[in-house]
Amino acid sequence: MARKQSSNFGRGGAYKCDCCKRATRATGRGDNEHVGLCAECYDLYGEENHLADSGELYSSPAEVIRLFEAIVAAGGKPGNKFNSVLSKAHATL
Ligand SMILES: [Zn+2]
């Protein structure tokens, strides 16, 4: 089955993040692109897991908020799934 190639999207390591739906690019870090997430969503998933396990953020509240702002600034929509992480960041800032 032939795949339609109507744009350059998908070349050069660019892809759409599964979570925030923005176009992103492989970072070469290796982890996030394998699961179809941008680097910021990947980190937020990590934060969510850590928060669920330990009740604490993995990195600083300021870093968590920076991740959200980076997604929104790039036209992404983090959605509701990271609400607990964001609330925790604001509560502990
Ligand atoms: Zn994303």
Per-residue pLDDT tens listing for the chain (93 residues):
445 544 444 456 788 999 999 998 777 766 788 889 999 999 999 999 999 999 999 999 999 999 999 999 999 998 788 999 999 999 998
Q: How far is the CA of 28 from the centre of ligand 1 (A)?
A: 16
Q: How far is the CA of 92 from the centre of ligand 1 (A)?
A: 24
User: Is 71 a domain residue?
Assistant: yes
Q: How far is the CA of 66 from the centre of ligand 1 (A)?
A: 13
Number of domains within the chain: 1
* Among candidate residues 13, 17, 14, the one with its CA nearest the CA of residue 40: 17
Range of the domain at 29: 14-91
Q: Which tokens hold the place of 11?
A: 């070349």
Q: How far is the CA of 63 from the centre of ligand 1 (A)?
A: 15
**What is the H or E stretch that residue 23 is in?**
strand 23-25
pTM value is 0.81
Q: Which tokens hold the place of 72?
A: 């929104």
Q: How far is the CA of 50 from the centre of ligand 1 (A)?
A: 18
